[in-house]
Amino acid sequence: EVQLLESGGGLVQPGGSLRLSCAAFGFAFRSNAMSWVRQAPGKGLEWVSGISDSGGSTFYIDSVKGRFTISRDNFKSTLYLQMDSLRAEDTAVYYCARSWGALDVWGQGTTVTVSS
């Protein structure tokens, strides 16, 4: 079964760090670009970051540039999002998704809460 499983969310103080992970199952992870999408409480979807299949190209929305780092380990079939200097406005459910275009497979999401 094609599946994505996120982990690593939690409660963190402003200025703190978290690393999200997304384990992929049932498809050729190394052949697919991947994305992170977030959804603040009661709000819409926001694409955050994308990475090419090799990991050689990465892209971010302006509000997270310099604070978030997307990466992948194709041997472990795992996607990561390192989040530093977290702000209250980063509070959201974070989803990983397959592809960088039309996102055809989604994880269940992991919740990140930034609060003192």
User: What residue ranges bind other proteins (CB under 8 A)?
Assistant: 35, 37, 44-47, 50, 59, 61-62, 95, 100-104, 106-109
* C-beta closer to other proteins: residue 27 or 106: 106
Query: Can you tell me the distance from the alpha carbon of 116 to that of 109, in angstroms, rounded to the nearest whole number?
Result: 23
| Shortest distance in whole angstroms from residue 6 CB to other proteins | 10
* C-beta closer to other proteins: residue 9 or 107: 107
Cα angle 39, 72, 50 (rounded to 5 degrees) comes to: 45
* C-beta closer to other proteins: residue 16 or 91: 91
| Shortest distance in whole angstroms from residue 101 CB to other proteins | 4
| Shortest distance in whole angstroms from residue 58 CB to other proteins | 10
Q: Are 95 and 36 in contact (CB under 8 A)?
A: yes
Q: Which two tokens stand for residue 3?
A: 């599946």
Count of C-beta atoms within a 10 Å radius of residue 105:
16
